[in-house]
């Protein structure tokens, strides 16, 4: 009786569908290419970053235990810089950007072309232009309350 059941089961089975096989082959080939990229892009080291991308650098003046009029740095500086908004370019050709992080306003200043440092800022100390940029992008409401 078991043999009858198994023979009936075997006759209904189809070989592995060709469409699924081709999808599996494509996935395996994509994984192989990714591995090859990792190996060829610096012998196992991660690929080099885009040289045109803005980079965040810590400023020793802004540290987490600051006192007085010096503001602390952002916790995740590069991520906040990537999501920041352009405010203006200074007379010396360096940019000023602003963004938000963990319910705080972060100001970024370019100290070398493509290299920024950042610090926590408060709404009242921001210039009117910077406040307008944040409002227009809907990062804050009209009173400076952070929305995102």
Q: 3-state SS of 86-128?
A: EEEECCCCCEEEEEEECCEEEEEEEEECCEEEEEEECHHHCCH
Tell me the two tokens of residue 142: 């009209």
In tens, the pLDDT along 88-111 reads: 988 888 999 999 999 999 999 999
Q: Cβ of 135: how many Cβ atoms within 10 Å? A: 15
Is residue 22 assigned to a domain? no
Residue 141 lies in a domain: yes
Q: Which spans in 41-85 are helix H?
A: 77-82
Q: Higher-confidence residue: 140 or 22? A: 140
Number of domains comprising the chain: 1
Decide if 57 is inside a domain: no
Counted residue by residue, the chain has a size of: 148
Q: How confident is the model at residue 41 (pLDDT cuts 50, 70, 90)?
A: very low
Asked whether residue 12 is assigned to any structural domain, the reply reads no
> Distance (Å, rounded) from C-alpha 140 to C-alpha 143?
8
Q: Determine the 3-state secondary structure of 66 from DSSP.
A: coil
For residue 116, is it within any domain? Answer: yes
CA–CA separation, 81 vs 67, rounded Å? 24
pLDDT at 142 over 80: yes
Query: Nearest CA to 121 among 70, 64, 56, 63?
Result: 70
**Structural domain boundaries, residue 95:** 72-148
What separation in angstroms does the CA of 48 have from each of 30, 31, 36? 21, 20, 15
């Amino acid at each position: 009786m078991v043999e009858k059941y198994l023979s009936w089961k075997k006759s209904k089975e189809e070989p592995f569908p060709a469409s699924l096989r081709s999808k599996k082959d494509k996935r395996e080939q994509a994984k192989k290419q990714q591995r090859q990229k990792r190996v060829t892009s610096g012998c196992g080291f991660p690929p080099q970053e885009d040289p045109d991308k803005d980079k965040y650098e810590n400023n020793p003046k802004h540290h987490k235990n600051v006192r007085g009029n010096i503001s602390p740095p952002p916790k995740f500086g590069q991520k906040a810089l990537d999501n920041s908004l352009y405010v203006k370019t200074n007379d010396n050709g360096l940019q000023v950007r602003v963004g938000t992080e963990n319910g705080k306003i972060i100001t970024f200043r370019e100290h070398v072309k493509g290299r920024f440092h950042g610090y926590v800022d408060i709404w009242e100390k921001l210039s009117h232009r910077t406040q307008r940029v944040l409002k227009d992008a809907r990062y804050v409401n009209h009173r400076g309350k952070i929305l995102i």
